[in-house]
Amino acid sequence: MAGAHAGGPTKSLGLVIAALLFSTSAAAQQLTPGDFTRTLDVAGVTRTYLVHVPASYTGQLEVPLVVDIHGWSATAQIQIALSHFDLLSNEKGFIVAFPQGLNNQFNAGICCGNQDVDDVGFMRALVAKMKIEAEVDARRVYATGLSNGGGMSHRLACEAADLFAAFAPIAFPISISPTSACQPSRKVPILTFMGLTDVLIPYGGGSFPSAATTIAHWRDRNACGTDAYEVHTASGLSYCDIDTSCADGVHTGLCSITADSFGGQFFDGHILYINPDYDIARVAWDFMAPFSLPAPPAPTVPALPVGLLASLAGLLAATGARFRR
């Protein structure tokens, strides 16, 4: 009984925790180069996502992770075919995950359904599992996506800035209403892409905020200047403006894209990846890649009470005297 009282239960609890950690680690299927379908449980619901691991991945070094989110009524497979982030990952060496929305949609705030679904929680759980199954650089996890997925990227910028280092929402404006409710935990690098000829999500606003409202929101949240953008590039009928004057070294930008028309379809000008001017995935990656989450603070050693320090000094002195005799 004395032995049990002295440390038995504590030791047993430690063994249980160790066993659970070991079983979790052992059960995790480590990722290797290739394409995979993964599932996880979020609030009792099975969620699915696809993963592409580049051929250069060895599991020996940490690599960035991009989460690329599909649009409303689309699928993870369609997003792969549109964005080509899998091909870019082969070139750049990062891993990319493509989440699948319930009912082919995500709860991005003002768009586009699943209002009772915690899709921010899903993204957090996805990243957590990826960190178990691959050598992911926890400070270089990025979010992007098209349309509803772009809105989800904005929501993650508002609510998960502690997890994602930078964001590239595509074909959707700021998705939190009112926009003042978007209060990120830090300044966030973000480059929004909006379609100049988009008939589904108009550049000038309407049912959703405008491109101008979106960039003004993020410049304000990131404590940027109000002067002209420091960086302006143009290609064909499209252009990008980036503010580099923001607080904490972050950048805030807007790319205005003239995408292809499909002959009077409701989504004319909306699939921004399909345009003659910019490789959207490459522009998004080049913007996000330089940014990392702030380094965690160094652990601090608590100061010992003065009385305890005096007692320790006396004990050391007495011990030294005993060994000298």
Query: Three-state SS string across the chain, please?
Result: CHHHHHHHHHHHHHHHHHHHHHHHHHHCCCCCCEEEEEEEEECCEEEEEEEEECCCCCCCCCEEEEEEECCCCCCHHHHHHHHCHHHHHHHHCCEEEEECCHHHCCCCCCCCCCCCCCHHHHHHHHHHHHHHHCCEEEEEEEEEEECHHHHHHHHHHHHCCCCCCEEEEECCCCCCCCHHHCCCCCCCCEEEEEECCCCCCCCCCCCCCCHHHHHHHHHHHCCCCCCCCCEEEEECCEEEEEECCCHHHCCEEEEEECCCCCCCCCCCCCCCCCCCCCCHHHHHHHHHCCCCCCCCCCCCCCCCCHHHHHHHHHHHHHHHHHHHC
pLDDT digit string, tens, across residues 113-161: 899 999 999 999 999 999 999 999 999 999 999 999 999 999 999 999 9
- Examine residue 304 and state whether it is found in any structural domain, yes or no: no
User: Is residue 311 situated within a structural domain?
Assistant: no
Give the model confidence (pLDDT) of 234-243 as tens digits.
999 999 999 9
Structural domain of 232? 29-294
Domain of 37, CATH number, reads: 3.40.50.1820
In this structure, is residue 85 part of a structural domain? yes
Would you give per-residue pLDDT tens digits along the chain (325 residues)? 333 333 443 334 343 333 333 334 434 679 999 999 999 999 999 999 999 999 999 999 999 999 999 999 999 999 999 999 999 999 999 999 999 999 999 999 998 889 999 999 999 999 999 999 999 999 999 999 999 999 999 999 999 999 999 999 999 999 999 999 999 999 999 999 999 999 999 999 999 999 999 999 999 999 999 999 999 999 999 999 999 999 999 999 999 999 999 998 999 999 999 999 999 999 999 999 999 999 887 776 666 565 655 555 565 565 554 444 4
Classify residue 302: in a domain, yes or no: no
Rounded to two decimals, the pTM is 0.84
110 is a domain residue: yes
Tell me, yes or no, whether 316 lies in a domain. Answer: no
Q: How many domains, in total, are found in the chain?
A: 1
